Amino acid sequence: MHENLLNLKDLMHIYPIISISYNLTSLCFPGNNSPMSLTGNASKNIADRLAWHTASRDQAGIAKNLADGKDIPEVYGLGEAGLFDEFFYFLDRFGFTTLFTKLELKPKKRNSPVPFMRIIFVYMMRIVAGLQFFWHMDPVILSSQSLMRLVGFNGRQIKEGYCDRGRKKPVCDEKGPIPIRGPVSCDFIRDTLVSIVAPTLEKMFNRGISILAAHKFFPKTVHALLDASVIESTEKCKGCGKVTKEKPPELRLRRKRIRKVLETVFGFKIWVVWDPNSRLPLAMRFTTIEVHDINLAQEVVQQAVDNLGKHVKITSLAIDRGFTDGIFMWWLKTKNITFFIPAKANLDVYKDALSCIGTGNLCNRDKTRTVGAGKNKTKVTDHWAVEGLENLTSAEYYGPLGSGSHQNSKTFVPNSINAVVVHHDPFKDNNPNSKTMVILTNGSVDKPLAVYDRYDARSEIENSLFREAKQAWFIERPPVNTKAGFMVHVYLTIFVMALTTAFRDWMDQQDKIELKGKDTGIRKFREKVKEENGNKLIIFDQDRYAIFDAYEVFILCGRNVLKPTGTPEKITAQDILKKYGAQLE
């Protein structure tokens, strides 16, 4: 099975041909939205973040044909097609491909002859390519012959379309080149995506996480993070929600008071349980923006537990103040999940913790780090001072019934809870007037610094997942401005982000180049791939294909290349044929 698929060496040598064409043509097409600029940016993103095969690899056979002087049927710069080829092989190997086949579509009067899987793969290409706007798919992806060939469309379909429906007379001169029409239109892809039944999207996502857990992409014990994030839309979005809230105002001093500014935000909200170690999501929920954070908290955590099954156990959960709810916190305790949540300043337990300062376990820590570079390089020492307090009974809302009239009963006995008071940390240095933070937990506070670190990791979900999804993956740019469009785009984006993360980890394991303790974010991965890439060509011959270095094609065609690898070297066609195992006469 492996011999018919692109190997990892092919994967890491695919950028410069596209890069060279982009650098040359960008001079003729200035501007960020020009077709060639979009193609160049997409090529970079694809190489960073990473087809379903319809052709089998025949390296030896095609090499022999070239050496025998036969014509070359089709040849393209390998470009991003190689990465997608290996990426979709990864999806097929672990069973993710079958998940997409189980997505159900709303019934139509007329069924399309275009296989649904091809539409899903094309849209995944849009997500991985980082195309900011949906309509950029036409010049960048749908017009790419190598990409569309790997998805499953043949050359005629790519140039003339899958069918004649919607075809217009060419505007160019009859003697000029016929423009590439693309196999399908963006409108068709949009209509197909929004017809996906919503519950099947959730099932696909949950089953995908279960597959990752079964194949040990997560550690055995997970210290998870939970947070909710707003996905903004416009007011004209059909089916969106809205919420009016205070906007952080600029400092406008009027009679020594800051004027409050209210704004109405339209859109949706997602809840994600995330593992900061593997950088993979465990579960997700999607609804309109006005729903409070706590409403779906228990549901999404339970879904995460179900997704991981017996393979992985969630041992702790760091959450923000928005999830303050006694019933939810008690439910986490019954599930043997240790929670870490900062107390609100208006709660009795917050005041109780501050009044108990000096009676607990005080721990200090200092760490030295460097700031600046060169002559401006200096050392800075960060200081932490935290204190653990046990058995506070002032959190009366913490219990199976939450807050209510039962607290007034004479027989009511509040449940005890532990706390860690943060006397000093680097945030306090930059914000000396900020309130003292008190972290509540149902776990041990014998090591209060460990409790602090568990909660402090919560910021990673905002920076590494939500911010990355909005700024680099354009999660707020759906194919159509409706609730259905946002839902399918959000689920597919988060899922594809998870798959590309797992793909990179798997690729590192395969190549034994796992980098420990080093950021493997998508932007850094982009630079790594760009540096390691070389010039490659992909040749198609009906249902066969082969990948060669550019100089190998010239040598096989009977030309001499004096410096094939940049230095004087004699490489013959016989050498290349032996390299690929072709039978020599």
Whole-prediction pTM: 0.76
SS3 (DSSP) at 244: strand
- Identify whether residues 467 and 503 lie together within a single domain: yes
Q: Which helix (H) or strand (E) holds 293?
A: none
- Identify whether residues 12 and 55 lie together within a single domain: yes
SS3 (DSSP) at 98: helix
Residue 360 lies in a domain: yes
Conformational region of residue 336, where left means phi above 0, alpha means psi within -120 to 50, and beta covers everything else: left
Non-local (6+) Cβ contacts of 220 within 8 A are 311, 312, 313
- Identify whether residues 180 and 231 lie together within a single domain: no
Q: How far apart are CA 243 and CA 290, in angstroms?
A: 5
- Identify whether residues 30 and 141 lie together within a single domain: yes
Q: How far apart are CA 545 and CA 69, in angstroms?
A: 17
- Identify whether residues 33 and 153 lie together within a single domain: yes
- Identify whether residues 44 and 152 lie together within a single domain: yes
- Identify whether residues 36 and 157 lie together within a single domain: yes
Q: Output the six-digit token pair for 235.
A: 């007011």
Q: CA–CA distance from 65 to each of 55, 372, 558 (Å)?
A: 17, 58, 12
- Least Cα distance to 498 among 309, 296, 218 occurs for 218
Q: Output the six-digit token pair for 464.
A: 């590494």
Domain span at residue 213 reads: 198-317+459-475+482-511
- Identify whether residues 20 and 151 lie together within a single domain: yes
Largest CA distance in the chain: 99
- Identify whether residues 395 and 424 lie together within a single domain: yes
Residue 583 lies in a domain: no
Residue 44 lies in a domain: yes
- Identify whether residues 167 and 235 lie together within a single domain: no
- Identify whether residues 296 and 209 lie together within a single domain: yes
Query: What total number of domains does the chain contain?
Result: 3
Q: How far apart are CA 158 and CA 416, in angstroms?
A: 67
Q: How far apart are CA 507 and CA 482, in angstroms?
A: 37
Q: How far apart are CA 278 and CA 221, in angstroms?
A: 11
SS3 (DSSP) at 303: helix
- Identify whether residues 161 and 276 lie together within a single domain: no
Tens digit of pLDDT at every position of the chain (585 positions):
333 333 333 333 333 333 323 332 332 333 445 554 666 566 556 555 553 234 567 888 888 888 888 887 777 665 556 667 778 888 888 999 889 888 888 887 777 888 888 899 999 989 988 888 898 888 888 888 778 877 888 777 887 777 766 555 555 444 555 566 788 889 999 999 999 998 999 999 999 999 999 999 999 999 999 999 999 999 999 999 999 987 766 554 455 556 677 889 999 999 999 999 999 999 999 999 999 999 999 999 999 999 999 999 999 999 999 999 999 999 999 999 999 999 999 999 999 999 999 999 999 999 998 888 778 889 999 999 999 999 999 999 999 999 989 888 889 999 999 999 999 999 988 888 889 999 999 999 999 999 999 999 999 999 899 999 999 999 999 999 999 999 999 999 999 999 999 998 888 777 654 445 554 444 444 444 444 444 677 787 776 778 888 888 889 988 888 888 777 888 898 888 988 888 665
Write down how long the chain is: 585
* Residue whose pair of structure tokens reads 């998805």 in the numeric block: 151
Q: Output the six-digit token pair for 11.
A: 């994967």
